[in-house]
Chain A
Amino acid sequence: MKSAWLLLSIFFSFWFMAADPVKPTPGVNAAPAYRVESIPMPDNLVSETGAIEFLPNGELVAGFSRGEIMIYNPQKKQWRVFAHGLHDPLGILVVSNSEILVMQRPELTRVKDTDGDGQADLYETLTDDFGISGNFHEFNYGPVKDKQGNLFIALNTGSPNGGVRPEVRGKLDSTTLGKYGRQMFSVVPYRGWVMQLTPTGKLLPYASGFRSPNGLVLDGENNLLVTDNQGDWVGTSPLYEVQAGKFYGHPAGLVWEQGSKKQNPFEIPVAELNKKRAQAAVLFPHNIIANSITQPVFDNTNGKFGPFGGQLLVGEMNQERIVRVMLERVNGTLQGACTPFLDGQGLRKGNNRLAFAPDGSLWVGQSDHGWAGDEGIQRIVFAGQLPLDILNMQLTPTGFALTFTQPIEVTAASKPENYKFKEYYYAYHAKYGSDQFNAQKVAVTDVQVSADRKKVFLTLAALKPGYVYELQLGNISGTDGNILKDKIICYTLNQLKN
């Protein structure tokens, strides 16, 4: 009798699908796993969100493009001003309820309310020991703090769509400018670098080769992860594990490399640059997973945000989604998979900044400041209903192991044709973006479903390091009738597993 009801329900859910193919198709458990709420924004605020973080008292502190730092009380649903007059604040690190560090155009600033009236009165420069040419694209990102108390910030390169001011701050070096066409440049120190501010206040160049690194995060083991944006020298948006002294691909900033013989970075042979550069841990295939990747945050909510604890969630500007990243270390190298998260559930575009609230909800600050996007702040709440999704994708010596959040229906899950793999790589070149090269289908030669029906082992005809493995899943459903909605997942294979 029970199964008859189930069949009937499935029948009706298909009927529902046929009637309205545009709507997301719920299975038996129609309640969505996540709920997206929009936060009311104050009147007359242009809500181009540059930074969001939570204070120890549970209030949200947010920075906006016209220099406002506002505080939101989620209980009272009220906004108040904390500070104003900052220059494009793009990052906040909370110190206490009355003190934050703000990354703005000219400097990293301690912004503090010293007299207890609720508004900041002290703006103390922590570091301005880096150049600014006045080019509109020289954004600054961060800071994040490691366990030793070092702060890390990232300095965007300059854009050929803008110029350089007659008066700059820092030493001007025009080597990477002008005749190199439309490439992003670094004409003042240390544009295109991740910088380390030591606990004693010294700003040191840490790693080079960044183009537009709009996202920094430290993992639980003190490893620094940084995202970058597709463009010249960046075939598709990457996530890097950043280590001291390494080079991550965009040559412009090499002009400031210590001790290097004075060679124009844009005249170094590509093969030489390619040898020097560190590989991305994860590549986000352009137009498929993301177009413009932003801030990564780890889900450290101990289940309050659902089943994806420990995973990385990354903002995306051009599409109405967050990107979910599953990382693993193979032979010491970080690599992993990325998949869409929250498509079609009311999230807007322009997802520039992410922060987890103390209650485990994920807050997303949106911006469209000159680029595709949206404005405002939204909050994503795990509604308690377990979604059917890929919990993890891991490399095996012969293919991949997929873990699902729930047991899956075995018949469909056992069919190789429900796992369409494609492999390709992105070129490393000065040109803006990259096509997919050597793109071809990869046959799945064997499928094994685990006894608990939560894991599928896929054997592939071949595996090649340096390639992205894009997996398009077929109609996989849970044993309870739930249908898998996010059916695309891309694994960046740097290292093979033995």
Chain B
Amino acid sequence: MPENNLLLFRVLKYYQWIYVWLVLLLALPVHAHPVADSVTTVHIKAIAGLQYNVVRFQVKPNARVKLILTNTDDMSHNLVITRPGARDAVVNAALKLGEQGLKLNFIPPSPQVLWSIPVLEPDETKSITFTTPKTTGVYPYVCTYPGHGVIMYGAMYVGEVALPLANDLNIPPARRTENIIAARGAANGNRHTAHPATTAKPAHPYELQAPFLYRVFMPDASPAAIAVSLPQELSYCWDAGTCRLRYAWQGGFLDNSDSWKGKGDSYGIIIGQVFYRDKTPYPLRLNQPENIPSVAFKGYQLRERYPEFKYNLNGITVYELIKPKADGAGLIRTFRIPDNSQKVWFVTDSVDGVQYEATAGKWIGGKLKLTARQARHFSITMTRKEGVKL
């Protein structure tokens, strides 16, 4: 499947890209490196989310600078360098161009505009070379395409040392502080090490106490995943696309800051250690242990805030409620199949990270066999094995 590989590569590339710009932001000036002909080259990309990948760079006064702009977004963008403090004025002047705007590349004829790169279509690259002013200062650059200028900008520091990122009012607010963590509650704000959070603002107008859930893109699941935070630092990913528990972890919950940014593909990032991963084609079987049922997701009802999932297996309604084991060492899954009239099998895999106990039925080589009557209501306890790498 070469195409699939290509796609995976794209997703990875996106992640790499996030880290690349984080590094860029933290270690300035990375992009402004003088070369042999004494022209400093600065390469800026217009990226998804109405942003430039580089939001600030530093150059010397009276220096030759080559600025290259590549548009990697799916919308059109330009780049206009203005006199200090003139960013808003230039953005507003561009808006007032009205019908003339497109013809002028949304670059207003104004003495406040120092240099500019015209509107680039997606995938286009253009550059300009100029001599920086003799006067040190902060020279804004901005995309004056209508609607973009309010958030798509950056700053060229001529001779001046840039402020710490968090205090730099010359760059977009979203780029000053980093991530907001979807933690279990304000008390223990779990932080993902890849994201050096400077501020951990509450993520919602209410405080979340486990159990609670997010429907969110999760790794190793279909795109219709549900991430559930339980007491005892336990969490699990239940997949509404395939109607089953995919994996469980312990330690923290989820970092949603990438997924909440809006543009680009991203996943919730698991905080903690995965201790269970379903490795069967499908765990529940009706009548014969080799019959893989067809599934349909029907939703969930909150029972004392725990979701009880409802789904159909070959048209038969199944309810599944997952709670933490009292000692925190695993999960208890309670199944109800009220209208059941067949034998039911619960199939496990020996390398899935847990050991099993059941309230009913008979284990036959890693498969639990339940009579039709037993299957109407049964629980399975999954206790984590120590030292299993999943």
Contact = CB atoms under 8 A, between A and B. Distances in A.
A43 interface: yes
B260 A65 contact: yes
Contacts of A110: 299
Contact of B201 (A44, A133, A287): A44
Interface in A94-153: 104-107, 109-110, 114, 120-125, 128, 132-136
A44 B205 contact: yes
A384 interface: no
Given A159-B74, A287-B101, A369-B262, A168 B300 contact: no
Given A84-B212, A125-B297, A167 B221 contact: yes
A433 B74 contact: no
B146 A433 contact: no
Interface in A25-46: 42-46
Nearest to B260: A66
A42 B263 contact: no
A465 interface: no
Contact of A79 (B205, B223, B298): B205
A131 B241 CA distance: 10
B215 A86 contact: yes
A3 to B, nearest CB: 35
Contacts of A166: 4, 7-8
Contact of A84 (B204, B260, B299): B204
B122 A109 contact: no
A81 B298 CA distance: 24
A87 interface: yes
B7 A432 contact: no
B33 interface: no
Interface stretch (B147-155, B324-332, B361-369): B147-155
B222 A161 contact: no
A135 B265 CA distance: 6
A384 to B, nearest CB: 31
Q: Report whether over half of chain B's contact residues are helix, strand or loop; otherwise say mixed.
A: loop
A84 B182 CA distance: 13
A136 B297 contact: no
Contacts of B220: 167
A373 B49 CA distance: 11
Interface stretch (A174-182, A293-301, A305-313): A174-182
A288 B99 contact: yes
A136 B72 CA distance: 16
B299 A109 contact: yes
A134 B265 contact: yes
A370 B261 contact: yes
Contacts of B169: none
Contact of B223 (A134, A161, A317): A134
Contacts of A156: none
A349 B205 contact: no
Given A84-B212, A85-B213, A128-B240, A161 B298 contact: no
B208 to A, nearest CB: 8
Bin the interface of chain A by size.
35 or more
Given A128-B240, A163-B8, A319 B223 contact: no
A241 interface: no
Contact of B7 (A114, A164, A291, A369): A164
A163 B102 contact: no
B263 A370 contact: yes
A135 B261 CA distance: 14
Contacts, number: 183
A372 interface: yes
B260 A46 contact: yes
Interface string B235-271: 0000011000000000000001000111111100000
Nearest to B48: A161
Contacts of B292: none
A287 B76 CA distance: 12
Q: Which of B11, B74, B101 has the most CB of A within 10 A?
A: B74
Contacts of A214: none
Interface in B8-63: 8, 10-11, 14, 48-50
A58 interface: no
B302 interface: yes
A70 interface: yes
A23 interface: no
A368 B7 contact: no
A476 B91 CA distance: 29
B163 interface: no
A121 B302 contact: yes
Interface string A411-436: 00000000000000000000011010
B74 A169 contact: no
A197 B201 CA distance: 40
B263 A81 contact: no
Given A43-B205, A70-B205, A168-B222, A432 B121 contact: yes
A182 B205 contact: no
Contacts of A466: none
Q: Which of B72, B216, B307 has the most CB of A within 10 A?
A: B216
Closest 10 CB pairs of A and B: A318-B147, A370-B262, A372-B147, A370-B263, A163-B10, A87-B215, A106-B224, A42-B205, A134-B223, A124-B299
Interface of B: 3-4, 6-8, 10-11, 14, 48-50, 72-76, 98-99, 101-102, 121-123, 146-148, 150-151, 201-206, 208, 212-217, 220-224, 240-241, 256, 260-266, 297-302, 307, 310
14 contacts: A42-B205, A44-B202, A44-B205, A85-B213, A132-B223, A161-B73, A164-B7, A164-B10, A166-B8, A169-B222, A169-B223, A169-B224, A288-B98, A373-B147
